[in-house]
Structure 1
Amino acid sequence: MTFPITSNSLVKDIVNELPKTSDVFKKNRIDFCCGGNIPLSEAVAQNGLNMDTLIAELNVVFEKYENAEKDVEVWTDSDSNTIIDHVITNYHRVSEEELAALSPYVTKVSRVHGDNHRELIKVYELFYEFKKELIEHMAKEEAIVFPLIKQLADGTVDNRTEAIAMIVELEKEHDHAGEILRQIRAVTFDYELPLDACGTYRLVYARLEALEGLTFMHVHLENNILFPRYLS
């Protein structure tokens, strides 16, 4: 996929195609919600920006998206250390960044539209439960379980039974995170937007769905490729 953004691309279309570009627009004070029906060139002119610099920032988002879409089958033949490093870089750090960036949007949409769309109150509650649990889960993986897996891989682990039990515990946490995401999908009717959904409303649903995909790929690498090496 070639870089799809040009100076003639409409701001709203860019965000619809790559929801995380909304962070770039917010940083540059470009209205992608109500004022998004203008080409990028006009937005640049209105805000006194440099087109090349803005395009470069948007390209960073695009490249992250492309990297996240890599075929994970290649990891079946990779050693455990390589998989762990890949998970930390491409899933832990990316998830932390997205959870932090998405939080204010979820809060805003819930506050502004929650009276008319009560499901958004539930989305708010579920999102922050998911955020808390995933951050704690990733921290435990990096501080405790991944080092144990590396010791299992090289045969230096002190207590194999305890290490295996920690991996099983991670799988249970994965199941619970997946259940929260399934509840979000259910309460939003598969991210179906109401007729009165504004740009930010649409953005939240798009990024929540993308976060779901990111999390499922994260879990797939661990549950189906990394962990079975030590649980079998």
Structure 2
Amino acid sequence: MTFQDQSLGQLARRIPGATRIFHDYALDFCCGGKQTLRDAALEKGLDATAIDSIEARLLALHDDAAPAGQDWNTATPAALIDHILTRFHARHREELPELIRLARRVEQVHGDRPDCPLGLADHLTEMLGELETHMQKEEQVLFPMLTRGMHAAAGRPITVMRMEHDDHGVALQRLATLTNDITLPRAACNTWRALYLGLRALREGLMEHIHLENNVLFESAIVSAVDAAAPATGCGCAGHA
């Protein structure tokens, strides 16, 4: 069964980021979530080319994952940085605005329910601002230094980035508190389901992002800086082999 034959609601629940695509084409995945992608698109007057384009974007989201078995510990700094930029920086910038939109919708429609995550949209907005500032520092300062092999000079920026990573961890804890650890309440609508699916993907991605930087990229740079600063062994006398 192709994505075109699956319901909008099913796709929104299964593929993080799918709701952003549906929003681009004004496809109702919430109340109209039982319609298949093809039927909903045709009802909106979209042609076959547009439907194929939607499906291609969904497939890209579905398949966009790190290669199985990839060992980033053996990758070059440049390769790891490129992976971080495409897999995490770009993804955070895409997913958070959509999660904010979904959160505001849930709060507007279900704000009278005791299990509604009131304040979530504002919290996600703050997270986006903090992440954007953090990522710009990495892209404009730290990553170019590491790519050029300036490991010793990168020590201070690495310390700052690690401190900010701790702040991101606190933000994830706050997110868990607001959403009962991202646990869906009973009878949640498709918008709510899509929101929490996206939140789980955000949490998983941000944790992996921080792990690769703290424990792989930054550690490698620190080791390289220490090795470069270590004095050469041996007395250096010409008469010794």
TM exceeding 0.5: yes
Cα distance in 2 for partners of 1:88, 1:6 equals 28
Specify which of 87, 103, 109 is matched with residue 90 of structure 1: 87
Cα distance in 1 for partners of 2:196, 2:137 equals 28
Cα distance in 1 for partners of 2:54, 2:42 equals 17
Over 3 Å counting, the alpha-carbon distance change for 1:145 and 1:176 in structure 2 is: same
Specify which of 50, 55, 58 is matched with residue 61 of structure 1: 58
Q: Who is 2:41 aligned against?
A: 44
Structure 1 position 31 matched with structure 2 position 28: yes
State the identity %: 29
Matches within 5 A, 1:51-200: 51-71=48-68, 73-117=70-114, 120-151=117-148, 153=149, 156=150, 160=152, 162-200=153-191
Cα distance in 2 for partners of 1:127, 1:7 equals 31
Matches within 5 A, 1:208-227: 208-227=199-218
1:68 match: secondary structure:
coil
1:29 match: secondary structure:
coil
Q: Is the 8 A contact 2:102 2:191 kept in 1?
A: yes
2:154 match: secondary structure:
helix
Q: Could you give the per-residue CA deviations for residues 147-173 of structure 1, whole angstroms, max 9, x where no partner exists? A: 22223x2xx56xx3x520210211121
Structure 1 position 18 matched with structure 2 position 15: yes
Over 3 Å counting, the alpha-carbon distance change for 1:71 and 1:126 in structure 2 is: farther
Over 3 Å counting, the alpha-carbon distance change for 1:64 and 1:142 in structure 2 is: same
Richer in helix (by share): 1
Whichever residue aligns with residue 177 of structure 1, its letter is H
How many corresponding residue pairs?
223
Whichever residue aligns with residue 70 of structure 1, its letter is P
How far does residue 36 in structure 1 lie from its aligned partner after superposition?
A: 0.9
| Structure 1 outlier segments of 4+, above 6 Å | none
Cα distance in 2 for partners of 1:213, 1:105 equals 19
Over 3 Å counting, the alpha-carbon distance change for 1:118 and 1:7 in structure 2 is: closer
Q: Is the 8 A contact 2:80 2:217 kept in 1?
A: yes
1:36 match: secondary structure:
coil
Q: Could you give the per-residue CA deviations for residues 84-138 of structure 1, whole angstroms, max 9, x where no partner exists? A: 1221122111211112232222222223323323652232332122111111100
Q: Is the 8 A contact 1:24 1:58 kept in 2?
A: no
How far does residue 224 in structure 1 lie from its aligned partner after superposition?
A: 1.7
CA RMSD in angstroms comes to: 2.2
Whichever residue aligns with residue 193 of structure 1, its letter is L
Q: In terms of Rg, which structure is larger?
A: 2
For structure 2, which runs of at least 5 residues remain unmatched after alignment? Answer: 224-241
Over 3 Å counting, the alpha-carbon distance change for 1:131 and 1:29 in structure 2 is: same
Cα distance in 2 for partners of 1:92, 1:72 equals 21
Cα distance in 2 for partners of 1:7, 1:170 equals 43
How far does residue 22 in structure 1 lie from its aligned partner after superposition?
A: 1.4
Q: Could you give the per-residue CA deviations for residues 194-226 of structure 1, whole angstroms, max 9, x where no partner exists? A: 224222122111111111111112112211211
Cα distance in 2 for partners of 1:119, 1:21 equals 22
- When normalised by structure 2's length, the TM-score is 0.83
How far does residue 177 in structure 1 lie from its aligned partner after superposition?
A: 0.5
For structure 1, which runs of at least 5 residues remain unmatched after alignment? Answer: none
Q: Is the 8 A contact 1:18 1:62 kept in 2?
A: no
